[in-house]
Structure 1
Amino acid sequence: MAEEFSLRCWGARGSTPTPGASTLRYGGETSCFEIRAGDALVLVDCGSGARNLGMELISRGARSFDMLFTHTHLDHICGLPFFKPAYDPNFAVTAWAGHFQDDTDLVEIVSRIMSPPIFPVAAKTLKAVEFKTFTAGKPIPRDDDLVIRTTRLNHPGGACGFRFEFQGKSICIITDHEHGDPEIDAALPAFVKDTDIMIYDAMFTDDEYETYKGWGHSTWQKAVQLAKDGNVKTPVLFHHDPRRTDDELDEIGMAAQNAYPGTLVASEGMKLSL
């Protein structure tokens, strides 16, 4: 019997949490994914959605897992101070980042947000967490059957995309990313080639993008084009603009479905299994 290989979304919003009546269906929490591959557990990003995930992990009982950061902008790390397993020494969390373009390391960034007067609890209280750095473009070392490949993305300060491969299936997470860098754009179709699920930064529409060039985000139309170029089975639009209402996301979803049947719009609580 095939082992579980799944992705669950705990936060699909970009830039800032957006609670409210207009975001109930797709959710207002920021970036956080849970990936299960057999006995392996990997989290990608620790945005505000990680708070709820952490409480569920506590209820399941202690274990070891990896936490990968696409990058360390606030909407992707703001959940870490509220992620309960990080404080519990019965857990073992290895936190990885590989987007840095200088000598910065992950614990330094976390220490900036977890220090007075910004936050009353210091990063050293994260007893369960070991911080590690890798270089985007190189695989994450593992000793099981899950393969994690990485690639550079185009985002202010750098970002990293991930490809998870397990038992002949694959999941790619491509966020936060702005199309337009020739070298990075040229590498992406091969990186996502034939993948089963591709999460992609679709914060803007093509029309909106003209106003927001340089902000580090892409469009749903570029998601569809990359899916076509890479023969992706299921593209999933992600990192929703905080101004975007549920009804507007419905409209984008229908347009994307018409352009590339099978395209989905990420929502909080969405689980996709392979």
Structure 2
Amino acid sequence: MPERGGDGDLSVRFWGTRGSLPMPGPDTVVYGGNTCCVEVRLGTRLFIIDAGSGLEAAGRSLPGTARIDLLLSHLHHDHVSGLPFFSPILKEKGSLRIFCGNQGGASAKAALDSMFAPPLFPVTLDVLPGSIEHVGFRAGETLSFEDGVRVATCPLRHPGGATAYRFDHGGRRVCYVSDMEHLDAGPDLDVVNFCRGADLVIYDAMFTESELPRCRGWGHSTWNAGVELCRAAGARTLAAFHHHKGHDDAALAGIEASLAAALPGSFVAREGQTLVYRARQAAVAAAQEA
């Protein structure tokens, strides 16, 4: 079993790290072949970000009675394809609440209902045994939950829009920033402020600097731009994420060496990798006194 944090700790687990298309096979066993899905726990409080093909394995790790808050960055296929295979909603007592912030304030229900229906998919989501609730918001709003947890959001440059998420807990900060295209002039000031002082920035590093010019307007970035963002924001480490379908383990290992040299402690995200950020004592003491 992977390590889990205590009540005051913030933990992250990568269930899917690939972008665009699942890439299973012998050349992707180290960094993984499943598309985007990340688990974040604030103590025992669970969130899942994005529902790519990695969501299926994430679901198998959870009880069938689980109530899950799923935060979607956007609705492109590589971020939602795992949804009908998520085991908590394949059982009667499971429930899923889906948040989406790039539909102009509307929820993702209409888009997902059109995607998961004949002739594109054999059944509709409403026939699944578990319950699904849809919540819409506008990227940039702060999400407030019944238990007092708050999750900040930020709009990103991506075709159709996308949403970044920020988690603060126990004096620690983790930011999920995918999918986005960086500005030629340097890091977007709004995203810099959003990531200010983060312990970890999970960042869209789909392209290399040499690949990017051929793919302008596709809504993706490079690890080099991620390092610039972290430096501007005073963020400690970068997790390169949303790996290109053509980047095998050897290519990603080379990227990881360059990334770690540029921003020590940074890495290329691996499927199954778990990180635990222990609560800072001052934050825990303040919480106890409150």
Does the 8 A contact of 2:17 with 2:32 survive in 1?
Answer: yes
Secondary structure at 1:248's aligned position in 2? helix
Task: Report 1:1-274 matches (<5 A).
Answer: 3-58=8-63, 61-101=64-104, 105-126=107-128, 127-180=130-183, 185-274=188-277
Question: What are the Cα deviations for residues 176-213 of structure 1, in whole angstroms up to 9, with x where unaligned?
Answer: 00012889812011100001111000001112111111
Alpha-carbon distance between aligned partners in 1 of 2:92 and 2:13, rounded to the nearest angstrom: 25
Relative to structure 1, the CA distance from residue 181 to residue 63 in structure 2 (aligned partners, 3 Å threshold; closer, same or farther) is farther
Alpha-carbon distance between aligned partners in 1 of 2:139 and 2:186, rounded to the nearest angstrom: 14
Question: What are the Cα deviations for residues 237-256 of structure 1, in whole angstroms up to 9, with x where unaligned?
Answer: 00000000100001011111
Question: Which amino acid is the alignment partner of residue 77 of structure 1?
Answer: V
| 253-262 or 143-152: bigger deviation | 143-152
Alpha-carbon distance between aligned partners in 2 of 1:24 and 1:249, rounded to the nearest angstrom: 11
Does the 8 A contact of 1:146 with 1:166 survive in 2?
Answer: no
TM-score by length of 1: 0.94
Long gaps (5+) in structure 2: 1-5, 278-290
Q: Deviation at 1:122?
A: 0.7
Question: What are the Cα deviations for residues 117-168 of structure 1, in whole angstroms up to 9, with x where unaligned?
Answer: 2111112124321011011000111133532000000000000000001121
Q: Deviation at 1:87?
A: 2.9
4+ residue segments displaced more than 4 Å: 181-184
Question: Which amino acid is the alignment partner of residue 164 of structure 1?
Answer: F
Question: Which amino acid is the alignment partner of residue 20 of structure 1?
Answer: G
Q: Deviation at 1:37?
A: 1.1
Does the 8 A contact of 1:172 with 1:197 survive in 2?
Answer: yes
Relative to structure 1, the CA distance from residue 252 to residue 236 in structure 2 (aligned partners, 3 Å threshold; closer, same or farther) is same
Secondary structure at 1:51's aligned position in 2? helix
Does the 8 A contact of 2:205 with 2:222 survive in 1?
Answer: yes
* Root-mean-square deviation over aligned CA pairs: 1.8
Relative to structure 1, the CA distance from residue 174 to residue 148 in structure 2 (aligned partners, 3 Å threshold; closer, same or farther) is same
TM-score by length of 2: 0.89
Question: Which amino acid is the alignment partner of residue 116 of structure 1?
Answer: P
Q: Deviation at 1:5?
A: 1.6
Alpha-carbon distance between aligned partners in 2 of 1:228 and 1:111, rounded to the nearest angstrom: 41
Alpha-carbon distance between aligned partners in 1 of 2:12 and 2:193, rounded to the nearest angstrom: 21
Alpha-carbon distance between aligned partners in 1 of 2:186 and 2:256, rounded to the nearest angstrom: 29
